[in-house]
Amino acid sequence: MPARARAIAGFTRRFGQPPQGVAFAPGRVNLIGEHVDYNGGLVLPMPIAAGTWVAYGPGQAGVEALALDFGAAADAFEPGQPVPHRPADWRSYLRGMAAGLAARGLPVAPARLAIAGSIPRGSGLSSSASLCVALGRAFAALAGAEWTATDLALAAQAAEHQWAGVHCGVMDQMAVAAGEPGHALLLDCSNLASRTVALPKDWAVMIVQSGVRRGLVDGHYNARRADCEAAAAALGLPSLREASLSLVEAAGLDPMVRRRARHVVEEIDRTRQAVAAIEAADLPALGRILASSHVSLRDLFEVSVPPVDDLVGVLQRTIGDAGGARMTGGGFGGAVVAVLPAALVSQVQAAVLADYRAPDGAAIQIMIEQTGGQPAGEGQ
């Protein structure tokens, strides 16, 4: 049963009546700009078709919620007095979102909620940001309010930081809250300025799960952020967004910290180059940029793992010079993203299924995202 239908059915079964409505928020795939959002950099994510649905209705007093993807696990709390749930799980995001909205002056009314999603957990496709923004949209509907995408994104980021213990940037939340289907979102994480970037319709975005489930709260993500903060402090800068490659190389940084800083500075520049390549409909150029990003994430930022590298290799060999592939998300597993001519999709899918095996032997999940611009070559 599709996730939206599961949310409606679960709500009706649990609360004895149909929901008032259903809120949705997509997941996201990041085309390029990895690990630069918390450095105030430029990123280029796009929303995907998979996401989170929250069936909602007014509550009697507090918030009552049902998580259909976790064995119909339940939670209940007073909207104005949520307390952290330990260990961190979906309830942390639920309670954290209510607290984050309240902190921004956005009241949360008593609510009944049933939650279902279609994003593979641990895939690097922002299931947590999707959950938070969908919850925010449900709470807004029940309050009869229209909260801005920025309000929702910042409340969701606060839930990650303060309630789930992940010190993430704001890219995921802004991509989910402000993105448009079929378009990338060029986001400046220093000031949240953004604009959409349409990918040509005869391109395709392919997302392939490596089969290595990743986790951000295990310390890796927070450690990389600490490395970047150490680099910025050593350079006397508020963030690595202000750094140049020549400054990084001349500063006498600890070798590991220097590698982290090099990745960030070069990745911000690659994001600019990627936007230019997309707007010129130059897919081979974009492919080279994506490949360079993966090498940097593997060798300088050290967040890739061998199965992900193998999967990127299969994709790149099959796509050839016509496009490119790289790891996407926080790293240590999760998904790989490729941008390629739509005409090659079947061939590349077949190659992945024939040549790549997940470490645990699980079936390979492949998602094809539609692009929203005009065909390449038209209007250029």
Catalytic residue numbers read 172
pLDDT of 249 higher than 60? yes
pLDDT digits (tens, 9 = 90+) for 98-132: 999 999 998 899 999 999 999 987 677 889 999 99
Averaged pLDDT, 328-336: 90
Domain 199-369 carries which CATH code? Answer: 3.30.70.890
Averaged pLDDT, 304-328: 97
Neighbours of 351 (CB within 10 A): 16
Instruction: Report pLDDT for 378.
Output: 41
pLDDT of 205 higher than 60? yes
Structure confidence at residue 379 as a pLDDT band (50, 70, 90): very low
> For the chain, what percent of residues have pLDDT higher than 70?
96
pLDDT of 213 higher than 70? yes
pLDDT digits (tens, 9 = 90+) for 139-154: 999 999 989 999 999 9
Instruction: Report pLDDT for 217.
Output: 44
Whole-angstrom CA distances from 129 to 26, 51, 72, 213 are 9, 10, 20, 17
In sequence order, the 6+-apart residues with CB closer than 8 A to the CB of 378 are none
pLDDT of 218 higher than 70? no
Instruction: Report pLDDT for 373.
Output: 59
Domain boundaries, the chain: 3-29+46-182, 199-369
Q: Which of 111-125, 340-354, 362-376 has the highest mean pLDDT?
A: 340-354
Q: SS3 string of the chain?
A: CCHHHHHHHHHHHHHCCCCCEEEEEEEEEEEECCCCHHHCCEEEEEEEEEEEEEEEEECCCCEEEEEHHHCCEEEEECCCCCCCCCCCCHHHHHHHHHHHHHHCCCCCCCEEEEEEECCCCCCCCCHHHHHHHHHHHHHHHHHCCCCCHHHHHHHHHHHHHHHHCCCCCCHHHHHHHHCCCCEEEEEECCCCEEEEEECCCCEEEEEEECCCCCCCCCCHHHHHHHHHHHHHHHHCCCCHHHCCHHHHHHCCCCHHHHHHHHHHHHHHHHHHHHHHHHHCCCHHHHHHHHHHHHHHHHHCCCCCCHHHHHHHHHHHHHHHHHCEEEECCCCCCCEEEEEEEHHHHHHHHHHHHHHCCCCCCCCCCEEEECCCCCCCCCCC
Q: In a 10 Å sphere around its CB, with 0-12 CB exposed, 13-18 middle and 19+ buried, how is residue 321 labelled?
A: exposed
Instruction: Report pLDDT for 39.
Output: 96
Compute the mean pLDDT over every residue in the chain, rounded to the nearest whole number: 92
The CATH class, in words, for 3-29+46-182 is alpha beta
